[in-house]
Every structure is written in C-alpha cells, then in structure tokens.
Amino acid sequence: MHPFQKLLALALVLAWIAPASAQDALRGKRYYLDTARLVGASVSCVDCHSGLPPGLFGIGRAANNPAIVANALNTIPQMTPLRGKLTTADIADVAAYIGNPGVASPNLRVSTRNPGGGEGSDRLDFGTVLQVQSSARGTVRLVNDGALALQLTTSVRIVGPQAAEYSLTDSGCRAADTLSAGQSCEIGVTFRPAPGSAGLRTAAAQIDHDWVGGTAAVALLGTAEASAANPPVSTSSGGGGALGGWILIGFVGLAGHVLRQKR
C-alpha cells in the first residue's frame, strides 16, 4: 500500500472509533480537572489526586472501571463534597479518562509581556506610569498548545476597581473565535492613569472559553505617579503655597528617577 493510502485508511478508522471511545475520555478529562465548576462543588478530583496522568491515592485502579469511582465517592470520607454530584455518565467518562489519560484535548495557556520587559502568566505589570501624559502598553497572549480546538465564547472584558484606567488597544481574541491546535491570539492592554489617581491601580482582563476553567484571566497592575500638570487630588489641600510647589517638584524628580531606572 502507498504510505499515503495507509495514512488515509488509518484516519478513516480513527474517525470511526473516535466518537465512541475518545470522546467520553475527553469529557471525563473535563470533569476530572474542572469538577468543582461543572457540578457545583468545592473541590475537583485533580485537587487531591494531583499530577497528570492521575496517579495519587490508587486512583489508577479506576481505569475504565466506573464502579471503583462510584464506590470511592460513596465510601471515602475526603470525597464527601462530591458525593451525589456526578451522574452515572459523568462517572463513566471520568473512569474512561483515568484509563486513557493521554486523550487528545485542548490546552489553554496564558502568557503576558510587560511593557517594561519581563513576562508572566497570571499578571500584566505596567510598572510606574506618569498620570495623564503617559501610558504603557502590555500584551496578553492565549495559546492553545493542546491537540484539539477550543472556542472563545465572549470578547475580552476589563473589570475591577480601576477598570476605567485600562483599555483594550487591540484584541486579536474575539468572541466565537476558534483557537485550533497550536494557534494563538493576542490582546493589547493600555494603562493610562486618570487625572488625580495615585498609587497602585488594579483591574483584570478576562475572556470566557469552552475549555477547563471557563475563563482566562490576568491581573492588571500599574502604579500611577503624579506629574506637575496633574498633582494627586488627595494631596491638593489648597493654600499649599511654596511648600506645595516643592512637593510637586519632588514628585517630578522622583517620577523621572523611576522612569530612568526602568530603562
């Protein structure tokens, strides 16, 4: 047989068996990793049986054996928070996943690039920004490094105490976008302190998706620094006179110093 024909035949066989077997293990993986959210409980299987593939506490005995999982749920005291929360189908799928931990699935990874350099996974740090005149732009990147596609289900939203001081510069991650295996998208976020704001300003960027966790989120952190043209509202007491002026000059000097250090 020509190698290509062989591949085609293999693909056909896989397509035929996949819905029956792999599909359930995939659903089981969701329930294993995201139990708390999916069934409304306080813990997920993975929280106690940590590590992938599932191994800890003899869980491997449940591979393709739903009765073992059902029995564990009914008898192991630590597993009481999940008792009665999973359906027979959920339990069967979880057992299928334990028996096939390498089942193809999506896998969403989030990374960030700070404006001043440096990278992270759960936060975007804008550092210190002079209020009003200046702004800083950072990037959030979503990568699907799994083997199956996942779907974004909302557009990006910015929420939290100082959400108004952050804005989306551009969003390559949009509602209803599909991230197929290996695909990524980027979100640009700009921090621009409002007049009179000073100190740490926080918010979060969030986007919903259909894989484990349901929402990808990063914290947005930036420090607003007063400038000569926009003194902090809270310290403008009126009649500050010469002293007020000196404080302002001090602020400008300090801000300049910090900005120089950041380079």
Q: Is 212 in the site for ligand HEC (CB under 6 A)?
A: no
Q: What is the DSSP string of the chain?
A: --HHHHHHHHHHHHHHHTTTTHHHHHHHHHHHHSHHHHHT-S--HHHHS-SSS--GGGGGGGTT-HHHHHHHHHH-GGGGGGTTTS-HHHHHHHHHHHH-TT-----EEEEEE-TTS-EESSEEEEEEEETTT--EEEEEEEEE-SSS-EEB-S--EEESTTGGGEEEEEES--TT-EE-TT-EEEEEEEE-PPTT--EEEEEEEEEEBSSTTSEEEEEEEEEEE-BTTB--GGG--S--HHHHHHHHHHHHHHHHHHHHHH-
Residue closer to ligand HEC (CB basis): 74 or 133: 74
Residue closer to ligand HEC (CB basis): 37 or 113: 37
1-40 binders of ligand HEC (CB under 6 A): 35
Residue closer to ligand HEC (CB basis): 75 or 234: 75
Q: Are residues 116 and 262 in contact, defined by beta-carbon separation less than 8 angstroms?
A: yes
Residue closer to ligand HEC (CB basis): 82 or 221: 82
Q: Which residues pair with 91 in a beta bridge?
A: none
Stretch binding ligand HEC (CB under 6 A), from 16-24, 52-60, 125-133, 142-150: 52-60
Least separation in angstroms between CB 39 and ligand HEC: 8
Least separation in angstroms between CB 95 and ligand HEC: 8
One of 29, 30, 49, 201 touching ligand HEC (CB under 6 A): 49
Least separation in angstroms between CB 119 and ligand HEC: 32
Q: Are residues 133 and 158 in contact, defined by beta-carbon separation less than 8 angstroms?
A: no
One of 6, 11, 17, 47 touching ligand HEC (CB under 6 A): 47
Residue closer to ligand HEC (CB basis): 47 or 122: 47
Cα gap 82→75, rounded to integer Å: 11
56-115 binders of ligand HEC (CB under 6 A): 57-59, 61-62, 68-69, 72, 76, 78-79, 82, 86, 94
Least separation in angstroms between CB 109 and ligand HEC: 24
Residue closer to ligand HEC (CB basis): 85 or 123: 85
The residues that touch ligand HEC, with contacts defined as CB under 6 A, are: 35, 43, 45, 47-49, 57-59, 61-62, 68-69, 72, 76, 78-79, 82, 86, 94
